[in-house]
Structure 1
Amino acid sequence: MKKDKATIKLSATLLSISFILYLLNYIIFKDIVHIAEFLAQYIAFIPIEALVTVVIIGSLLENRDKIKKQQKINILIQVFFEEVGNELLCKLEPSEKKCCELGCLRWEFNDLLIKDTKNIRNEIEKHNVILELKSEDINSLYELLNSNKDTFIKFLENPYLTEHDTFTDLIQSISHLYYEISFRRSRGEYSEADMIHIREDAQRVYKNLLEKWLIYMEYTQKEYPFLFDLALQNAPFNDMEKLNKHI
């Protein structure tokens, strides 16, 4: 309400100043025709001015803001994987029953360059994740999640990520997995139903991680090529010996 009153007051003040200036112009030059012509020309120019200021300049500023916001989101995704994402992938990847289907993730990283990312995306999207987690795997997974639960909360509270639905979904799925394991641990040993439920939640997390991990690697390669070599060395999909054993 206060903002509306201030806007009305400012508008009235500016219109009053404009009226006074036009009145002074008439008093001094006594040429109402010139004033009318000038006013008509200015009114005719308003649509062009609106086009330039609102549409063109506004679009440029909006695109610049989007680029900056996306850069900040990419940095946050990079921080996430460096702090916990890569380690979480390494925890889940050994239990992946059909990980040999994702061989492209290992073979496409050559000469410090991600090749054919479109093909990798398609492979991840159609990949049917099946995790064979055992009770000891779940306990180890719980320890990792429990030690990083504050980190997940901070990411969820970050205002830049509220507009990035897919990454927010990833953090929420990880948080859900953590609370599911925590709840079932409190009741003692895992039942068969518990194991099935936890595996399903873990599979959802794993596939989300794969998709965001590729974004992280692409961004690191593009913006921080001097860090890309280190990112490759820490990548969970570079163990060729393990791949050959699965094949």
Structure 2
Amino acid sequence: MERTRLYIFAAVFFGVALAGTLGFMHVEGLGALDALYFSVVTITTVGYGDIHPVTATGKLLAMALILSGGGTFFGILAAAVEMFLGRREKRVRGQKLDMIIGLFFSQVGSTLVRRLIRADAGVAFLKENLDVSLRWDKENFRKAQAILRDYAYDVDMAALDLPALGKLLSDNSEFLVRLLENPNILEHEAFTSLLQAVFHLKEELAHRRDLEHLPRADLEHLRVDVRRIYSQILIQWLHYLDHIKENFPYFFSFQCRVTPFLAGEDATVRE
């Protein structure tokens, strides 16, 4: 929006300057450079006084330029400042949002990804295509995200430890609520949708007495909720890893050492 407004003001400004230049050339008999010079100093209200209109028509044209072009010129300045400040504010908001997403994966998300991947019937396929390493670049992340867009997300509920999953979400209930209350996440619809799905599953699991002996119909109901999270969190997880690789390579190195495809979460550096 700010850029469009700047372009409009700039177009009007140059249009008025061109009309003024041609007008002064005609009514005042000025050369092209002098006419352009006089149009610009008139529009910008600088007015050095070295060139001034001597005809009545020229004076009327100068007044018209001041009234029409002066506001346009200051509109350009205002739009340029607004665009600069808007970009800066957007960058700051983006940094805050990246920090929030990082906190989510550090506290809950990475463990959730690990549990869901290990309950996936296609874990071998995911390991082949999503086992992130230090060698990954932008192209690797792009290909992995393209694969996830068409992935089936086939979760085996029998392989998913629902009591442990329920405890994980319950223990982090207050943390999840605080994330949802943060106004910065509203600008990231995909991440907001993921948080809402996670919170919904937390509520579903919290309102069941025995998560180890659920009827098949109820497991199918929960499977829909789990797949909703799974299909979103893997994509957000890849975005998160891509971000920290570019901005925090030391933390990306840590994430590669605790990848969900490893048997444990030991981050010890080995030769």
TM-score scaled by length of structure 1: 0.74
Counterparts of 1:110 and 1:230 in 2: how far apart (Å)? 10
Query: Structure 2: which 5+ runs fail to align?
Result: 1-55, 264-271
Counterparts of 2:245 and 2:211 in 1: how far apart (Å)? 45
Query: Structure 1: which 5+ runs fail to align?
Result: 1-32, 240-247
The Cα offsets for residues 8-63 of structure 1, whole Å up to 9 and x where unpaired, read as: xxxxxxxxxxxxxxxxxxxxxxxxx9x99986554232112202312x22222212
Q: 1:104 to 1:114 in 2, by over 3 A?
A: farther
Counterparts of 2:185 and 2:198 in 1: how far apart (Å)? 15
Counterpart code for 2:247: E
Percent identity among equivalent residues?
A: 25
Q: Secondary structure of the residue that 1:184 maps to in structure 2? A: coil
Name the structure 1 match of 2:236.
212
Picking from 130, 133, 140, the partner of 1:105 is: 130
Counterpart code for 1:201: D
Q: Secondary structure of the residue that 1:116 maps to in structure 2? A: helix
Alignment of 1:74-85 (within 5 A): 74-85=98-109
Name the structure 1 match of 2:74.
49
Name the structure 1 match of 2:221.
197
Q: 1:220 to 1:188 in 2, by over 3 A?
A: closer
Contact 1:129–1:203 at 8 Å: present in 2 too? Answer: yes
Contact 1:112–1:228 at 8 Å: present in 2 too? Answer: no
RMSD: 2.5
Name the structure 2 match of 1:22.
none
More off after superposition, 122-131 vs 94-103: 94-103
Counterparts of 2:72 and 2:137 in 1: how far apart (Å)? 49
Counterparts of 1:162 and 1:168 in 2: how far apart (Å)? 6
Contact 2:198–2:229 at 8 Å: present in 1 too? Answer: yes
Counterparts of 1:89 and 1:190 in 2: how far apart (Å)? 23
Name the structure 1 match of 2:196.
172
TM-score scaled by length of structure 2: 0.68
Counterparts of 2:164 and 2:112 in 1: how far apart (Å)? 10
The Cα offsets for residues 111-132 of structure 1, whole Å up to 9 and x where unpaired, read as: 3656422111111111110111
Q: Secondary structure of the residue that 2:207 maps to in structure 1? A: helix
Counterparts of 1:94 and 1:52 in 2: how far apart (Å)? 56
Q: Secondary structure of the residue that 1:128 maps to in structure 2? A: coil
Q: Secondary structure of the residue that 1:57 maps to in structure 2? A: helix
Contact 2:205–2:211 at 8 Å: present in 1 too? Answer: no
Counterparts of 1:147 and 1:187 in 2: how far apart (Å)? 16
More off after superposition, 127-136 vs 138-147: 127-136
Counterparts of 2:255 and 2:163 in 1: how far apart (Å)? 27
Alignment of 1:12-161 (within 5 A): 41-43=65-67, 44-54=69-79, 56-102=80-126, 103-106=128-131, 109-111=133-135, 113=137, 115-134=139-158, 137-161=161-185
Counterparts of 1:215 and 1:90 in 2: how far apart (Å)? 16
Q: Secondary structure of the residue that 2:161 maps to in structure 1? A: helix
Counterpart code for 1:151: F
Counterpart code for 2:106: E
Q: 1:188 to 1:61 in 2, by over 3 A?
A: same
Which aligned segments of 4 or more residues in structure 1 are displaced greater than 6 angstroms?
Answer: 35-39
Q: 1:95 to 1:142 in 2, by over 3 A?
A: same
